[in-house]
Amino acid sequence: MIEFRNISKVYKMGEVEFVALKGVFIAVQKGGFISIMGPSGSGKSTLMNIIGCLDTPTEGSYYLDGENVSGLTFDQLSTIRNRKVGFVFQNFNLLPYASAYENIELPMLFNGKKNTERKRRVNELLEMVGLLPWARHRPTEMSGGQQQRVAIARALAMDPPIILADEPTGNLDSKSGHEIMDIFSRLWKEGRTILMVTHDPAIAAFSQSTIRLLDGAVQENGAAH
Amino acid sequence: MRVQLLHLFWNEFRKRREKTSLITFAIAWGALSLLLLMSFGRGLSNAGSVNFKGLGNTLIMVSRGQTSKPYQGLPRARRIHIHMEDLELLKRQIPGIAMISPEANNNHSISYHSKESNRSINGVYPCFAEMRSQVPQAGGRFINDLDQEKARRVAFIGWNVAKELFGGGNPVGKEIRIERTPFTVVGVMKKKQQSSTYQGPDSETVYIPFSTFCQIDFQRFLDRIHIRPADPKDALFMENQVRRILGRKYRFADDDANAVNFWNTIRDYETGAKIFKGIEIFLSIIGGLTLLIGAVGVTNLMYAVVKERTREIGIKMALGARRRHIVMQFFLETSVIFFKGTLWGTLVAFNIVSLVNLIPVGYEDFGIKAYLLRPIFSFDILIIFLVVLCVLVFVSGIFPALRASRQNPIDALRYE
Ligand SMILES: Nc1ncnc2c1ncn2[C@@H]1O[C@H](COP(=O)(O)OP(=O)(O)OP(=O)(O)O)[C@@H](O)[C@H]1O
Ligand SMILES: [Mg+2]
């Protein structure tokens, strides 16, 4: 479902070039649960962003569902981000002045889903993450764990087949972290493909296999748990 | 653009309202100054033309002069007087004359009971009233053709003369004396604004039929001949015709500008109108520049807003927002801010103009008040204003919006 062929990413900062990924080959099957590990700066987030079509590789080709994504326009990539992937970030990235309800609704607004359908879906998701009473609250009024659950609900709004989570538990205590992981396990069992960056072996233990990165290169692929 | 997105944009705008209130205020201020400058400029220009008409509406005045160059062996500096038969001559020889009236005047004592004063007594034809914008107050009239024909002893008096002799009472029908000869007052002049005079304001003058004037005052010359051309466009041409005809009779050069004097209100009015229009345009440009500075400020503030919301833009892009969604949101936001600011500015300007117009302006206030206290807020001002505004909205809205949409989603998400 996800296939990287010789992907490289070079960041230019003025004169200085920084190679964040070099010659990466990976393949992730549908329904996989992969954790991505590696030291800070090894290119984990860069990899995730390219998978999620937030960023484009400098070299190489990326096939998503058999389609080469490399030549697509911004708006075509927007459609992929909207329908095929759901992002969960370490720092939640919720809109501060929107309620939990409005945050979850957002991806559906960009897609033009009907009013009644949006309402049904948002309530369904709020119930799933156990936050129905918090629908009208803003992120600032919620705990980290609750905010991350809103973020997960938002990632699921368009019912995407792929979930990309970049250190989803990084800002949470271990109890909230485990609650989040329970949700991910459930999503995986429902048949979604999950890629998750983490530093924590206990969190990585939830996944099927691990990709280890070092200095932008894949060091180890497929260590099973 | 989908309706639910508009709804989203509106909601976000409402929630961040306080953050844009300064921008709204800047726009309101710019709109207010532009509209006020345009309205006061228009008022100024209007007061200018009203005052010009106070002297006379499309009028050429001819009066005596002195030659400024030798002609056919005659020396310069000869005095040229005009006489009653010149009026007949001009009337015969110039077909384009719509109205013509002689005017002769002299100061005489006038009295009513014990009140006495010395005023300019002017002998004129009935058409003089029309040419010089003199309208009688209700209950009275100007001197008429029969008065002139029968040399009746009737007088039409300026409102200041009426006040002087009668106080608050009604002068019409009363008998006054001019040098001991009894005259019946037939009318009092309605107040008017007048910026130019030649022998004191009309409000302090007494008008009697020309024929009657000849019986009480024995001067040989006319002081002035007033002419109205049938077509105001002929004003200059007619002035030259008059000069030529009189030049032939009194023997002075056609191009001697001082042999007889002309006061051509049509020509004055045209230059005056141009000057006032110039002032009006100048004020509008200043107002426009104020608004432009406002718009530059708004553009900058919108750039700041875009910057402040960078992360939010990144989040939306990650969730599937297209470029045009981002452009639309910021552009619409700028438009709404402009709309709000303009609405306030316009309302305040409109009210100021209305309030200023409530300040009474006396008819003797020929000067500053009449020019400054009668601003006009007209429809075409509003149209020009709105066109200027639309251009500014577009310019200050589109660039920040484009910048917002052209960001790289990753950089936007990493923005602190
Ligand atoms: N937009 C960017 N511009 C310039 N350099 C970048 C950019 N994004 C990432 N980098 C650099 O690329 C390298 C890899 O970054 P990346 O965020 O992928 O690391 P990471 O493995 O996610 O690290 P961490 O565990 O700290 O999140 C880093 O050295 C980073 O400084
Ligand atoms: Mg990272």
Question: What is the pLDDT, as a whole number, of residue B20?
Answer: 85
Looking at chain B, the whole-number percentage of residues with pLDDT higher than 70 is 93
Residue that is last in its domain, among B212, B239, B269: B269
Same domain, B324 and B402: yes
Query: Each residue of B102-135: pLDDT tens digit?
Result: 999 999 999 998 888 899 999 999 999 888 878 8
Question: What is the pLDDT, as a whole number, of residue B254?
Answer: 85
Q: A27 in contact with B at a CB cutoff of 8 Å? A: no
Domain, as residue range, for B140: 60-269
Same domain, B324 and B386: yes
Ranges A216-225, B117-126, B339-348: which has the least confidence: A216-225
Ranges A94-98, B45-49, B104-108, B214-218: which has the least confidence: B45-49
> Mutate which of A42, A58, A169 to test ligand 1's pocket (most atoms within 8 Å of Cβ)?
A42
In angstroms, the CA B280 to CA A47 distance is: 65
Assessment of whether the complete model's pTM goes beyond 0.90: no
Q: B410 in contact with A at a CB cutoff of 8 Å? A: yes
Question: What is the pLDDT, as a whole number, of residue B363?
Answer: 53
Same domain, B287 and B337: yes
Same domain, B93 and B224: yes
Contact by Cβ (8 Å): B115, B163: no
Encode B154-172: b = buried (16+ Cβ within 10 Å), e = exposed: bbbbbbbbbbbbbeeeebb
Question: What is the pLDDT, as a whole number, of residue B366?
Answer: 53
Query: Each residue of B247-294: pLDDT tens digit?
Result: 999 999 888 888 888 888 777 777 777 888 888 888 888 888 887 888
At A83, the pLDDT band (50, 70, 90 cuts) reads: very high
Same domain, B204 and B322: no
Question: What is the pLDDT, as a whole number, of residue B33?
Answer: 87
Residue that is last in its domain, among B227, B244, B269: B269
Indicate if ligand 1 lies below 6 Å from the C-beta of A151.
no
Same domain, B305 and B229: no
Tokens of A186: 């459930």
Q: What would you report as the CA-atom Rg of chain B, rounded to the nearest whole angstrom?
A: 33
Same domain, B201 and B293: no
Q: Which residues contact B370 (CB under 8 A, 6 or more apart)?
A: B47, B50, B51, B193, B361
Q: A10 in contact with B at a CB cutoff of 8 Å? A: no
In angstroms, the CA A67 to CA A64 distance is: 5
Same domain, B139 and B185: yes
Q: Is the pLDDT of residue A177 over 60?
A: yes
Of A97, A110, A115, which is closest to B319 when you measure between CB atoms? Answer: A110
**CATH number of the domain encompassing residue A17:** 3.40.50.300
Tokens of A56: 């484009």
DSSP B74: B
Tokens of A132: 């129905």
In angstroms, the CA B169 to CA B154 distance is: 18
Indicate if ligand 1 lies below 6 Å from the C-beta of A146.
no
Tokens of A58: 């400098």
Nearest CA to ligand 1 atom 24: A40
Tokens of B213: 């004037």
Same domain, B65 and B141: yes
Q: Which residues contact B285 (CB under 8 A, 6 or more apart)?
A: none
Q: How far is CA A7 from CA A19, A23, A40, A57, B108, in A?
A: 11, 5, 20, 6, 111
Nearest CA to ligand 1 atom 22: A45
Tokens of B413: 């998400």
Give the β-pairing of A162-166 and A193-197: parallel
Domain count, chain A: 1
Same domain, B350 and B206: no
Indicate if ligand 1 lies below 6 Å from the C-beta of B411.
yes
Chain A contacts in chain B segment 3-32 (CB below 8 A): 4-5, 8, 11-12, 15-16
Q: Which residues contact B30 (CB under 8 A, 6 or more apart)?
A: B290, B291, B293, B294, B295, B341, B345
Same domain, B44 and B65: no
Residues, CB within 5 angstroms of ligand 2 (ion): A 45
B169-174 CB contacts, 8 Å cutoff, 24+ apart: B170/B139, B171/B112, B172/B139, B172/B140, B174/B112
Domain count, chain B: 2
Same domain, B121 and B240: yes
State the amino acid at position B360 in one-letter form. P
Indicate if ligand 1 lies below 6 Å from the C-beta of A39.
no
Longest dimension (CA), chain A: 52
Residue that is last in its domain, among B237, B269, B301: B269
Q: Is the pLDDT of residue A77 over 90?
A: yes
Q: In this predicted complex, what is the ipTM?
A: 0.94
Q: Is B407 helix (H, G, I), strand (E, B) or coil?
A: coil
Q: Residue B118 pairs with which residues in a beta bridge?
A: B109
Q: Is B345 helix (H, G, I), strand (E, B) or coil?
A: helix
Domain, as residue range, for A135: 2-224
